[in-house]
Structure 1
């Protein structure tokens, strides 16, 4: 015998709507740093300026800053819907800066050169080591022929995955978010770093970042990040690329990609102490989160491990 669950579903839907409405009134943001220096070992803020990628045009989504659409898929493929990430750079020198060059081709096989703005940039590039260390977030430059160059800081030996996050501004995929990736190797003796245990707090540059919320795999779930310093709430977060904070996650084992999105507009240099995100981690297990934010013109990157049930 089957028992109807419609009233329960309806109550849950109303509760979810209420939560969404509340979140729409809270601070949040998704930006990136404007500095290639790292505030934590093995991590790079890496938002290097891009002439071609920072031209002043209207945001691709036409909505509030930071409210970019959810990137399609987990990024663990180099092709989707006819779009392909190509690169000849399969090996990169370890221990020193190195350029990573790549091209995005469309369904017609030709290089894509028209990209919509997403958080003021036309391309977001991420490099993550297989053990989830060595995080770099870069805004590369594009040549006229569609070749992008990401100037990577020194890579530790090991296997790396290179992610390109973009939205075509023409063609069949116009307005669709893509995240594609390829692997590359930095030769040498690769010492694996164990993933830190799951924790709700992280320290960086004197700041304490605290996460509230228990995400469930495959479900959108509200999550709040609180930033404090010396035990006091931080209320002077500055906008990055039009937003207050950028939160990226990578899955332990396969390095699957997830971008956690904020819910509201920014209001000058008055961000914090709470930043609210719509968290949707597609699979269960441990995720390494990298939160990037800025105060006093200085970028910071906090990292912590979060478990999705």
Structure 2
């Protein structure tokens, strides 16, 4: 198994790292879309999640990542009796970070009839796909703007419902598919469909570093990792563990974070000032600001938290204004200056 680059060793790209931490603290934020130049560490940061996140408990051997407390009737819909012999045993596994290749077929994504069992034993059995593997974890799509339309529609349905429903080849299967969608892409290679873009809670832009010291440090660390991945990972393991502990602690205090009426009003005024589409922007902004407060060990959401997460929560929800040539980030910064001015 390929060793992922340690999350703690990534140089710069603070917005991208913050967005990943926020959705790791609160899955309800709804995922991250990372736009940027080629070779800026987008996929590296996402794939480092697997080694960063705290492990989770599942029913031993379960291919659908069911938690031990949730073993009930749904199992009978997707597993044969032979597959349920360990349903009362518990296993601890890494949180799944599943890659969805651009060339994946629909059967590979949603699951299909287990042909081997059908041919050798004459039984209809469901072979789970990538959505089942990603349940309770992260589904990562590199170059998501190149994803085929029919897969985009499929992901929209599953992301909205949290369930994967398969009706084909005499099978009728429904299983939970609650995952955090993470995508990366290069804007030069095509735009993302608005319906899918709206499903990402946060959107960040990454750029090629312009600081000489940062570029030199990136070269130094990449070279050290390429020469000896195991030693490099061990060197950064303590820092990675600190980030993991911070995620766990932040999750624990998330529900106690106070979001006062003044903060809620500020968020709504920001969304109105930027003319953001729908109300999903406000909900995402509230959840992201609360996670940011938990990360900072603050008891309540304040202007600093809102200011920090507003660009990534609203940037991809703005309507295009043909009379305004400035980018979405500049429009949000202007709105922040107006709404959050002393």
Specify the TM-score bucket, using the shorter chain as the normaliser. under 0.3
Structure number having the greater strand percentage:
1
TM-score normalised over the length of structure 1: 0.24
Which is greater in Rg? 2
TM-score normalised over the length of structure 2: 0.22
